[in-house]
Amino acid sequence: MARWSEYTTGQRIKILRGKSIRQTDLAEMTGLSLPTIQQAEQDKRLTLQTLLLLADALGADTAVILGQQAPRRAMEQDDRAVMQALSRVVHDTAAGILPDTVTAPSLQTLEANAKRCWETYWKGGYLGAGALAGQLIAEAGARLREQPAGEQAEAWTVLSNAYRLAGYVANLMGARDLAYAAIGNAQHAASHAADELSGALVMSGRAWIYLRDARLRESLALAEKAATDIEPRFSQATTEQLVAYGSHVNFAAVVASRLGNKELAADYLSQSHAAGARMGREAAAHGTVFGPVTATTQAVGIKVALGQTGQALTLIGEIKPRHEEALSGAARNRYAMDKAMAQADAKLWDASLETLEQVLVEDPTWARHQALPSVIVEKVGRASTARLRRVSKLLGVGAGSSEFLPATAKTVL
């Protein structure tokens, strides 16, 4: 496949337009004439005004259209439009610039809206979560502006939560600069927040971004501090506190496994299982989901990262369909990816591809924003089978790129 820079500008416009947008549609979206669109795609004529209008309609940077920068991995036109809008609201709200149309809901309404936003995210609806996060950020900013001095702490909490959600979506989409900007804004908001957990939640979110950016040691330091800062007394801990602590300590185990530190990963994994056992069931709080099943399924990925394939397969054998039903959609899909990776490491090629193909078919939208499927396909690439060709076609392997370094088994999550 040709590199992005090797296509002509006209070819790049056509690729970004995709099959879902016709030339007539693009003409209507830009306000340009059909002949102008056709001339641009035929590399006959492209003025600066046309370039700017095309970039806005396609949700792509002008640098992408001109071939100076590759498009983000697996992004379609709708994805780019959402990310462009989210980027604008993240930066504008931080600068105190709010749309004239935005109103300030009550704090109670904002908190309820935030909960629904996170529910969308954990179902795997990242595009929808990104769109909702933008609206939540603007509304929280408006609420903050209208709150009396000395009564703004709760509004800051919601705003921090909204920025953190934006950072998570950007991280998954491979938009590095936006991920860093959003988590930075979340950290500033958390410093003024009423919720004592806000700072640790943001710290853990930054650790995840560092992991994706291959800053492993810095990621581990943040993940450890985030978990330590909120460690509760198990005998007195509430479910919400255990959700926060369990998910944080579990992530610390994930990062330790990426560094190959078996002892540290095992220690944190033990604490994760203890928190899950104390809870007895899956629960959601503070924009995260955790429980005994989450602790066990995520342990599979940790064992895989440490090269402990046999232990990973043993855990997989203990996880039954009824256990998986307790997970959120995104967590269930992620477990399937870890399972497929374990099977690939064990050279169970067909089983690995079967596991992967099932997710790609059942939830293609979720899978489109993941890097791990491509890592799995590369691992089983030596198995030249019809299923491998089908899976590769479903993935569209080789399409696009990310602002982050190429994902590897250590940095993908």
Render pLDDT for 132-184 as a digit per residue (tens, 0 to 9).
999 999 999 999 999 998 999 999 999 999 999 999 999 988 888 999 999 99
β-strand partners of 288 = 285
- Tell me the three state secondary structure of residue 290: strand
Mean per-residue pLDDT over the chain, rounded: 88
Residue type, 85: A
- Tell me the three state secondary structure of residue 396: coil
- Model confidence band, residue 410 (pLDDT cutoffs 50, 70, 90): low
Question: Which pLDDT value is given to residue 400?
Answer: 40
Residues 207, 317: Cα–Cα separation, whole Å: 31
Cβ atoms of residues 210 and 413 within 8 Å: no
Question: Which pLDDT value is given to residue 72?
Answer: 63
Question: Which pLDDT value is given to residue 388?
Answer: 74
Residue type, 191: S
Q: List, in sequence order, the alpha helices (H) in 306-371.
A: 309-318, 321-324, 329-345, 349-362, 364-368
Give CA separation, 267 vs 6, 33, 311, 374, 389, in Å.
Answer: 49, 64, 16, 30, 40
Q: Which of 367, 382, 315, 369 is nearest to 342 (CA)?
A: 315
Give per-residue pLDDT as tens, 195-230: 878 999 999 999 999 988 888 899 999 999 999 999
Give CA separation, 69 vs 4, 51, 95, 350, 403, in Å.
Answer: 8, 15, 27, 37, 9
Q: By mean pLDDT, which of 161-165, 349-353, 377-381 is the weakest?
A: 377-381
Q: Which of 146, 131, 132, 51 is nearest to 98 (CA)?
A: 146
For residue 284, the 8-state DSSP code is E
β-strand partners of 283 = 290
pLDDT (mean) for 342-363: 90
- Model confidence band, residue 294 (pLDDT cutoffs 50, 70, 90): very high
- Model confidence band, residue 398 (pLDDT cutoffs 50, 70, 90): very low
284 pLDDT exceeds 60? yes
Question: Which pLDDT value is given to residue 224?
Answer: 94
Give per-residue pLDDT as tens, 88-144: 999 999 999 998 889 999 999 999 999 999 999 998 888 889 999 999 999 999 999
